Amino acid sequence: MANLWLDLGNTRLKYWLTDDVGQIITSDAKQHLQAPAELLIGFADRFANLAPEFIGVSSVLGEKVNAQVAQTLATLDIPFEFVHVDACHTLLTSDYDATQLGVDRWLQILGAVDRNKRQCIIGCGTAVTIDLADHAHHLGGYIFPNIYLQREALFSGTKQISISQGTFSSISPGTTTSAAVHRGILLSIVGAINEIARHNPNYEFTLTGGDAPILAQHLTHPIHIRENLLLNGLMRYFELHAPSK
């Protein structure tokens, strides 16, 4: 039995096809350039050829786009279902208002959560999300614009700073405007994570997402980098939530 796990994020479409024991058979990821429904139409034949028995979907793209996605998936004649945040999930409870908790953020936590640990799960995507979980109970967290969004906001909000090139490679003081901007932005996130670690010394820290390696090299607390926590969470969700027939 093969299942397809589909992640529609803010900038990318990703999927896994897994076998009946959760091993990845094939996978892919594409930037959707703000046209995810159109990109998915292009994937429809591929999904049909993969012939999964079920498609589980995570989407942060809103009701209008999700309706278009559902129309495309319906043409495949394969059962599919969208994930909805469940603050009383068997594997993960939460103090958070479920209507305010993004499904991508929640699935990242679900993908890492361990009821035997205190954990800090950090998603390094379009937004940087920092969430604390105490023995599989989500306590809440923090949301930052990522390093690139912070840079864009600074450039758009000032007349004197117009440098859009540079690297996020150091948190030491910069000696040019470009270096000071990039290092200051990086320090704002790294410093926040280090401060959270200082206040929560018994927590295991896990980073996921494209910018995880950039942040990890500047953190003082031991960390783990895990790829594709969201897709892991998507699989775990449907292990305990039988797909609708």
Residues with catalytic roles: 104
CA 206 to chain centre: 12
Q: Mark residue 90 as left, alpha or beta (left: phi above 0; alpha: psi -120 to 50; beta: remaining).
A: alpha
Say how far apart CA 6 and CA 36 lie, in whole Å: 12
Instruction: Let me know: does 128 contact 146? Beta carbons within 8 Å.
Output: yes
Return the SS3 of 170: coil
Write out the H or E segment, with its range, that includes residue 107: helix 103-112
Say how far apart CA 182 and CA 69 lie, in whole Å: 37
Say how far apart CA 195 and CA 181 lie, in whole Å: 21
Give Cβ neighbours of residue 221 (< 8 Å, ≥ 6 apart): 193, 194, 197, 198, 205
Instruction: Let me know: does 206 contact 120? Beta carbons within 8 Å.
Output: yes
Instruction: Let me know: does 129 contact 108? Beta carbons within 8 Å.
Output: yes
Instruction: Let me know: does 58 contact 103? Beta carbons within 8 Å.
Output: yes
Tokens 């909805």 map to which residue?
84
